[in-house]
Amino acid sequence: MGARMIAFLFPGQGAQTPGFLHRLGGDTPHPAIARTFDEASDVLGENVLALDTADALASTVAVQITLVVAGVAATRALAQEGIEPEAVAGLSVGAYGAAVASGAIAFHDALKLVRLRATFMEEARPHGYGMLAVLGLNEREIARVLDDIKADIKADAYIGNLNAPRQIVVSGSDAALAQVRDLALSRGARKAERLAVSVPSHCVLLEDAATRLIDAARDVPIETPRIAYVGNRGARVLRRADAIREDLATNLRYPVRWHDSTIALSELGANVFVEMPPGQTLTSLLADALPGTPAYAMDASPIGAIAARVRIARDRAND
């Protein structure tokens, strides 16, 4: 067998649960995690650990900030245990944690840009919108559902995420998503449920927010990544700083082709995957996309335990 290439995956909005920052690293958090929390609090001017309560997570701003903090904290802790990625990808806001891990953007700049991103998203669509995950229909079938709904009523609904060939997320207004849910289920969808997201991400409904973020991102220092960074919009390896800047600034406007991103990582040579906290959604998707590939979700596991499992998978193949 060939040498192992480790890829880190960073989840997006919807993975959060109340208290997830407090659970990061298990009962005895790694020192790198505590230092990252302190750094984030200094940058933001508020205690980041106050942002993962149920009430706080009702805010898109709090959700997106805490997801980036969790991903970077876990990345740093694993690095101190000798586990570092050679490739990264992040779903939606997870792209910011991936960009930090790749060396393309400084942590403090990522936090400031993410805070603006989430604020612009909330201001663009402050209420009455969200996202719906549909399981069991493919992209073409979902497109037909959307076309039929729009032909019948004026519906704001668009494909937002393509997580798997038959796991697609639709973004839109509450009324439109209710129509999508009912029609998708009537056409054979196995499941259709709302996500814990209060904005219609990755579609034209956030065009204005994307324009504002592009302007804000122009002056943010972005560097050439040290490792492979797979972008959201085209599911391609991005090697230039300006391409990563565009990916970070515009991914809220365009669909995320996550399944294609995982395939791109595999084709690049990645064959051990580690999902940054919180949750295990990306690990589950990977198991379907790349059966038999070693994949580990950190979630609330002790850093040392995850590092040991990844080290074994890496070293076993390298022998």
Catalytic residue of the set 198, 202, 259, 301: 202
Catalytic residue, candidates 92, 171, 261, 266: 92
Q: Structure tokens of 128? A: 């009455």
Do strands 129-135 and 167-173 pair parallel, antiparallel, or not at all (unpaired)? antiparallel
Question: Cis ω on the peptide bond leading into residue 221 (within 30° of 0)?
Answer: no
How far apart CA 227 and CA 224 sit, in angstroms, is: 9
User: From the CA atom positions of the chain, what is the Rg in Å?
Assistant: 19
**Active site (annotated) includes residue 261:** no
Taking the alpha carbons at both ends of the chain, their separation in whole angstroms is 8
The yes-or-no answer on residue 171 being catalytic is no
Order of strands across the sheet that contains 6-10: 237-238, 228-230, 87-90, 6-10, 272-275, 295-297
The Cα diameter of the chain in Å comes to: 61
Catalytic residues: 92, 202
